[in-house]
């Protein structure tokens, strides 16, 4: 059987034999940092302005079956599949969670809800929940890189959703204790459910965008649960027949699924923590913008026009996108005019209430680069900002690697401040402090109940 499906079998065998002790210490340490950041952003998404979170949780409250899994912000326990769907949607709703620049992924948004749901259902320890997060992120990364994330984007697919289904299946298989044979089927069933059209960019409410992460979490959890019950599935999803890699890519490199498996953890260690609540493509440009504003002591009133140069291959995602969080013509003016950027700006249109934001937004434009910027994408989201000032000067700055990338990590004080600021939108300082402590001590917790009990509570701010 292994000769029939060497790649699928190799992955399944690794997942079936995985234990938290298999993680190098530095990988677990960074997973703990990533998880705390993701947990804060996840809970912030319960804010009443986040329509995707309100809509999906209302839906799940109406249709979900009873279970052991927390529906975040609703003081309700539901079945694992429903919890993964709803909480996975919350995970990406604020667009502020850790991401993988090269592989164009948001795996933390998928893996924390997956890990929490099945850790509650199976009585797993905090260390096991964190290990599942790391495993799922790594498998998501490997699937994306094997398919080629730029190829996926060019075809109109979101790598996070396509590859995320496999990562969630791997995390769920580990937490459910699946055998190698069962894990083969879980991966096969996840492959059947892969989905994720970038068509969500045409939903200005930004409900469809995070829904894709909810689907990935749901797909992985349901696949593993069905496999555990003996449900049939393709047994060579990465190897032959209508192989999933070739379905999504003409330039797939299947060997990237297994190269360095168990020793190289780039799917975790290369994750970046967002300093800005917007599409990650804009983060280098935001750094450049902030640098120009600060270095030249500029006010927004001195700016006549904001111009962004960005790679042609990714420009469709940021050039006048209907989604506020993906529109350079919105995000850059908000930061310039308001002196900050909040995840709530994605759901409350500041152009309608702030004349200065509206003025700058009307002036902003994107130049689609077909040269060096395009060549660097998606390994680097290079952005050049040009500010045309009212006195006739033109200032420019280019950024290649944003703050929050592993090469330029955020300081601990910045991470703490981010957690405090996002949770302050939905809960009291005392509850935010308790949530931070539960996230920080999850590794040593006998189970995840302390954390999930806090996440279950309705917003109080």
Instruction: Please write the tens of the pLDDT for every residue from 358-380.
Output: 999 999 999 999 999 999 998 89
Query: Residue 75: is it exposed, middle or buried by C-beta count within 10 angstroms (0-12/13-18/19+)?
Result: exposed
Using 50, 70 and 90 to split pLDDT, how confident is the model at 205? confident
Using 50, 70 and 90 to split pLDDT, how confident is the model at 1? very low
Q: 183 pLDDT exceeds 70?
A: yes
Report the top-level CATH class of 280-399. alpha beta
Q: Indicate the domain borders of the chain.
A: 6-269, 280-399
Q: Is-same-fold flag (6-269; 280-399)?
A: no
Residue 334's closest CA among 402, 384, 388, 277?
277
The Cα 247–Cα 3 span in angstroms is 22
Average pLDDT over residues 220-227: 98
Question: Which CATH architecture group holds 6-269?
Answer: Orthogonal Bundle (1.10)
pLDDT on residue 24 = 97
The Cα 197–Cα 6 span in angstroms is 29
Average pLDDT over residues 110-132: 98
Calculate what percentage of the chain has a pLDDT beyond 70.
99
Average pLDDT over residues 378-383: 92
Q: 197 pLDDT exceeds 50?
A: yes
pLDDT on residue 2 = 55
Distance of CA 350 to the CA centre of its chain: 24
Sign, Cα dihedral of 336, 338, 342, 344 = negative
Is the pTM of the predicted complex or chain greater than 0.85?
A: yes
Place of tokens 């809960």: 427
Average pLDDT over residues 26-39: 98
């Amino acid at each position: 059987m292994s000769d029939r499906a060497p790649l699928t079998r190799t992955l399944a065998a690794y997942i079936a034999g995985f234990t938290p002790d298999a993680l190098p210490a530095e990988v677990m340490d960074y997973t703990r940092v990533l998880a705390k950041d993701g947990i804060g952003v996840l809970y912030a998404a319960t804010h009443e302005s986040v329509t995707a979170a309100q809509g999906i949780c209302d839906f799940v409250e109406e249709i979900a079956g009873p279970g052991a899994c927390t529906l975040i912000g609703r003081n309700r326990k539901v079945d694992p599949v429903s919890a993964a769907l709803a909480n996975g949607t919350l995970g990406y709703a604020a667009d502020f969670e850790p991401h993988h620049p090269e592989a164009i992924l948001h795996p933390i948004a998928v893996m924390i809800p997956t890990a929490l749901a099945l850790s509650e259902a199976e009585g797993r320890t905090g260390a096991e929940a964190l290990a599942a997060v790391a495993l799922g992120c790594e498998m998501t990364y490997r699937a994306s890189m094997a398919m080629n994330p730029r190829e996926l984007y060019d075809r109109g697919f979101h790598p996070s959703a396509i590859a995320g289904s496999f990562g969630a299946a791997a995390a769920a298989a580990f937490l459910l204790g699946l055998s190698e044979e069962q894990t083969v089927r879980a991966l096969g069933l996840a492959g059947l459910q892969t989905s994720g059209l970038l068509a969500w960019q045409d939903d200005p409410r930004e409900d469809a965008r995070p829904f894709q992460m909810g689907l990935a979490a749901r797909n992985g959890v349901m696949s593993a649960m069905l496999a555990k019950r003996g449900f049939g599935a393709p047994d060579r999803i990465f190897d032959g027949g209508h192989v999933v890699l070739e379905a999504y890519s003409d330039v797939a490199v299947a060997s990237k699924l297994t190269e360095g498996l168990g020793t190289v953890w780039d799917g975790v260690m290369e994750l970046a923590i967002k300093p800005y609540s917007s599409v990650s493509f804009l983060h280098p440009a935001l750094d450049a913008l902030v640098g120009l504003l600060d270095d030249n002591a500029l006010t927004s009133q001195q700016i006549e026009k904001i111009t962004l140069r960005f790679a042609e291959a990714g420009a469709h995602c940021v050039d006048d996108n209907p989604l506020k969080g993906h529109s350079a013509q919105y995000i850059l003016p908000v930061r310039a005019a308001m002196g900050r950027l909040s995840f709530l700006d994605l759901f409350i249109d500041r152009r309608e209430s702030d004349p200065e934001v509206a003025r700058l937004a009307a002036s902003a434009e994107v130049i689609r680069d077909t040269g060096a910027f395009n060549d660097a994408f998606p390994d680097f989201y290079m952005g050049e900002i040009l500010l045309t000032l009212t006195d006739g000067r033109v200032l420019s700055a280019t950024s290649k690697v944003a703050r929050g990338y592993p090469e330029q990590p955020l300081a601990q004080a910045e991470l703490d401040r981010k957690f405090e600021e996002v949770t302050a939108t939905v809960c009291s300082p005392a509850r935010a402090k308790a949530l931070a402590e539960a996230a920080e001590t999850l590794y040593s917790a006998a189970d995840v109940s302390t954390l999930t009990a806090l996440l279950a509570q309705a917003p109080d701010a």
